[in-house]
Amino acid sequence: MVPCITDSKLAQFKGMLDSASKVAVLGHTHPDGDAIGSTTALCVCLRDLLGKAPYVIYPDTPADNLLFIPDAGIPCIFADKSPAEALSAIEGSDTVILLDCRSFSRTEQLGDPCRKASARKILIDHHLDPQEDEFDLVFSTPDISSASELLYWILTGIFGRNLPEKAREAILTGMTTDTNNFANSVFPSTMKMASELIADGTDRDKILNLIYNCYRENRIRLMGYMQCSEMKILPEGVAYMVLTKEIQEKFGYREGETEGLVNVPLSIGTVRMSILATEKDGLFRVSVRSKKGTSAQNLAVQFFRGGGHENAAGGKILIGEDVPSPADVPTYIENSVKTFFAL
Ligand SMILES: [Mn+2]
């Protein structure tokens, strides 16, 4: 059903897992629900179904509201807090598996150590333009909801539907956050997976409650403020918001608390693209979302040093390189939009 999954690739993957003794599983920087869900699910299966003792490694610490996902007893290393431990886990592994990113560059500081490692390397991903030459085995297609879903079809192709409960929960979580709770990137295979997971006893209500009903009050007030006071709409039908350090401090912002904010302006009929820039030390992280027919991917590639999916992409604006100072970011965004739509 998923074209990049063939019997021979499944057999190759299973053979690599069977012969592995030290496995490192990695997700991308600023790990989201899909990165955490897919890596956690794979590790749980490696442990419970194959008796392995894998590590999961992220370049940095995820948002608080997603920390319930790794709660499955898998040793989890955050490289921003434990850089030496992350490096030794990568260097000591014989198998490195990367999920939910198109290349090792998305693991930031861990990219080079991963490329240089003598381990066999495997990619499981759903972004555009995978860097296939970095890997010994690649499962990749953009025609799927999430890395979590792609992993589900790989795992059930190997083990059947008897996946451990924690793995099923992590997969359903990753798909739910990447599709914005079935709002985008939903394929027939996505509905089939969701149906199977629920039929097999996965508690969707519990997952929805943990993802969407456990925020802090600050988050709701910040979301309201950004929409009311900071959202600008350009004549090109593009909305943008800039979340500066000053606003972050005012609302006691924590990493991940604006999840979903960039999608909100798309609910305006005349808006075809939405951009959110969030200040971090020395740069602004940029999220781009678009309606069908407008390419978030192309804007992110051309102006924000990034990419991702056709209608959901990310990137960054570097202070000192792309703009002289944080105050120049709105102008940089407006000029990028003007140039992009004039092309
Ligand atoms: Mn994803």
Q: Is the pLDDT of residue 239 over 90?
A: yes
Question: What integer best gives the mean pLDDT of the chain?
Answer: 96
Q: H helices then E strands: how many in the chain?
A: 12, 12
Whole-number Å distance, alpha carbon 269 to ligand 1 midpoint, is 26
Residue recorded with tokens 């508690």: 203
Least confident of 204-208, 256-260, 308-312: 256-260
Q: What is the pLDDT of residue 140?
A: 97
In this predicted model, what pLDDT tens digit does every residue of 285-339 receive, in sequence order? 999 999 999 999 999 999 999 999 999 999 999 999 999 999 999 999 999 999 9
Distance between Cα 38 and ligand 1 center (Å): 9
Taking the centre of ligand 1 as the mean of its atom positions, its distance from the CA of residue 31, in whole angstroms, is 9
100: closest CA among 68, 64, 65, 69? Answer: 69
Nearest to 233 by CA among 343, 337, 328, 310: 337
Note the pLDDT tens digit of each residue in 7-55: 999 999 999 999 999 999 999 999 999 999 999 999 999 999 999 999 9
Q: How far is the CA of 177 from the centre of ligand 1 (A)?
A: 9
Mean pLDDT value of segment 196-209: 97
> What tens digit of pLDDT does each residue of 136-195 get?
999 999 999 999 999 999 999 999 999 999 999 999 999 999 999 999 899 999 999 999
State in Å: Cα 127 to ligand 1 middle: 7
Q: Determine the distance separating the centroid of ligand 1 and the alpha carbon of 178, expressed in angstroms.
A: 6
Supply the pLDDT for residue 63: 84
Sketch out the chain's domains with CATH numbers. 7-212 (3.90.1640.10), 217-342 (3.10.310.30)
147 C-alpha vs ligand 1 centroid, how far in Å? 5
**What is the value of pTM for the model shown?**
0.91
Give the distance (Å) from ligand 1 centre to CA of residue 277.
Answer: 20
How far, in Å, is the centroid of ligand 1 from the Cα of 13?
A: 21
Q: How many angstroms does the Cα of residue 224 sit away from the middle of ligand 1?
A: 26
Under the banding of pLDDT at 50, 70 and 90, the label for residue 277 is very high
* Contact (CB, 8 A) for 274 and 311: no
